[in-house]
């Protein structure tokens, strides 16, 4: 006999602290995706999950149910020179100035692995990888499966938008969570990320789980729980998965904004760039290479000798972009100075992200355009000594009327003191199955 469900009883189960059965989860996810469960009903269920949580089995089943609403990609047939290509991907939970995907993909691909990165656009204070790359003239994010496969076999790295048939339940549920204050739930965040990554078909995955004022996870225990949950989901689905916990209290690097971050990523690919961006790029690359069976190499070598840059240029050309074209430049800039001299003790990542968003680098609603040239350049980093009146930020915008809101966001963003500040490494810890 087939079980018959209704949304109200499923909501009530979770509202009262019960565990949802496999059949309940399968039904409600499929029915919501098909439009048979109303938004207000799924909103109530999502809020009940935020309040009462899910156990590991529920999270795994919820993830599987979301994957089942679409199709799974398969890269097992990838070949280069007749030999199979092993795929390995990376996902970041998002942060201010996080441009790591840009140098990382070509760097890992330069060692002979295939890096299929299905990325997204930014919303609010966190920038989107696709928005950054779309500041390159001609570059396009929307590729067919055939184009994506060809790019992986030819170049080894691709960054593109996920198709509408890849975990469509997540696409619909994410939009609902964003407007119902149900984003900050570890079960819902973990299943959202991993449903797409598992459906993507990669054989290995490295997760960059951010923690701090500029991240979704503000505390290390919450970030660790999220990392452990996602690593377990990957492992149970046959995807070799490792996570790094990384700091996101201060912005990553010296820029926040689309074209500005591309320029900084190019510095890294040329063997330079900010130390924290290089550190995290190399840490993630080492993990990805190890999962791909490549050990005993130093990925810094391919940044220093230009091999990774060559792969970047090939990747950009393969997706229609011109790697030699100048990046967009803002018509207007405004400098924000340091009110008092001393040692920079901290820079609030969230404040910088909000400032970049107000300048036009981000969007308040899905689908809104972004200004490629807008953003913030950070002149001094924590631990550095500055003089009173020295430049702290340069704001970039197409419309100068945006400066006031950005400056207001940065009013208390910088703390200056008179003591030496020890800057910790970006990487906090490594999380694996059973760790």
Please tell me which residue in 26, 89, 98, 170 is annotated as part of the active site: 170
- C-alpha 89/C-alpha 170 separation (Å) is 19
Contacts of residue 41, defined as CB under 8 A and 6 or more positions apart, other chains included, come to 7, 8, 11, 32
Considering the candidates 110, 185, 192, 203, report the single residue annotated as catalytic.
Answer: 192
Q: How many angstroms separate the CA atoms of 180 and 195, rounded?
A: 21
Provide the 3-class DSSP secondary structure of residue 256. strand
> To 5 degrees, how large is the angle CA 234–CA 108–CA 214?
65
Decide if 14 is catalytic. Answer: no
Catalytic site residue from 14, 61, 91, 99: 91
- Token couple for 157: 């790295």
**β-pairing, 385-386 with 342-347?**
antiparallel
| Residue 21: active-site member | no
Catalytic residue among 177, 197, 311, 426: 177
Query: How many whole angstroms separate alpha carbon 73 and alpha carbon 54?
Result: 28
Distance CA 93, CA 189 (A): 9
Active site residue 91: yes
Q: Is 235 a catalytic residue?
A: no
- Give me the DSSP letters along 146-210: HHHHHHHHHTSEEEEEPPTTSSHHHHHHHHHHHTTT----HHHHHHHHHHHHHHHT-SEEEEEEE
Q: Which of 125, 172, 196, 224 is catalytic?
A: 196
CB atoms within 10 A of CB 353: 29
Contact 380, 336 (CB under 8 A): no
C-beta neighbour count of 261 within 10 angstroms: 29
d(CA 100, CA 251): 12
Short-list 359, 362, 435, CA closest to 128: 362
Q: Is 185 a known active-site residue?
A: no
Q: List active site positions.
A: 91, 170, 177, 192, 196
């Amino acid at each position: 006999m087939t079980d018959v469900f209704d949304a109200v009883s499923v909501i009530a189960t979770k509202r009262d602290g019960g565990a949802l059965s496999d059949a309940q989860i399968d039904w409600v996810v499929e029915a919501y995706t098909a439009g048979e469960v109303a938004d207000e009903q799924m909103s109530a269920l999502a809020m009940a999950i935020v309040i009462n949580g899910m156990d590991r089995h529920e999270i795994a089943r919820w993830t599987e149910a979301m994957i089942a609403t679409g199709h799974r990609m398969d890269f097992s047939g990838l070949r280069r020179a007749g030999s199979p290509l092993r795929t390995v991907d990376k996902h970041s939970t998002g942060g201010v100035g996080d441009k790591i995907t840009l140098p990382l993909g070509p760097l890992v691909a330069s060692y002979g692995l295939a890096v299929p990165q299905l990325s997204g656009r930014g919303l609010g204070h966190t920038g989107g990888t696709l928005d950054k790359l779309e500041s390159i003239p001609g570059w396009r994010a929307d590729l067919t499966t055939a184009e994506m496969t060809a790019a992986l076999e030819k170049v080894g790295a691709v960054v593109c938008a996920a198709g509408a048939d890849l975990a469509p339940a997540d696409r619909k549920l994410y939009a609902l969570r964003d407007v119902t204050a149900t984003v900050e739930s570890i079960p819902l965040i973990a299943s959202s990320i991993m449903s797409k990554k598992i459906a993507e078909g990669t054989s290995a995955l490295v997760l960059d789980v951010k923690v701090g004022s500029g991240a979704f996870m503000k505390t290390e225990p919450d970030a660790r729980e999220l990392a452990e949950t996602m690593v377990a989901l990957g492992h149970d689905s046959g995807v070799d998965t490792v996570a790094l916990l990384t700091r996101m209290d201060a912005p990553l690097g010296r820029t926040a904004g689309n074209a500005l971050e591309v320029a900084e990523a190019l510095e890294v690919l040329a063997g330079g760039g900010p130390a924290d961006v290089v550190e995290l790029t190399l840490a993630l690359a080492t993990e990805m290479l190890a999962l791909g069976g490549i050990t005993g190499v130093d990925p810094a070598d391919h940044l220093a000798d230009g091999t990774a840059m060559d792969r970047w240029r090939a990747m950009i050309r393969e997706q229609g972009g011109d790697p030699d074209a100048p990046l967009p430049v803002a018509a207007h800039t405004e400098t924000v100075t340091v009110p008092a001299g001393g040692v920079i003790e901290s820079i609030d990542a969230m404040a910088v992200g909000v400032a970049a968003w107000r300048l036009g680098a981000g969007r308040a609603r899905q689908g809104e355009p972004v200004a490629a040239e807008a953003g913030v350049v950070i002149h001094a980093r924590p631990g550095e000594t500055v003089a009173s009146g020295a430049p702290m930020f340069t704001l970039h915008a197409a419309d100068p009327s945006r400066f006031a809101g950005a400056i207001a966001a940065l009013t208390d963003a910088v703390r200056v003191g008179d003591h030496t500040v020890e800057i910790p490494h970006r990487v906090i810890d490594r999380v694996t199955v059973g760790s």
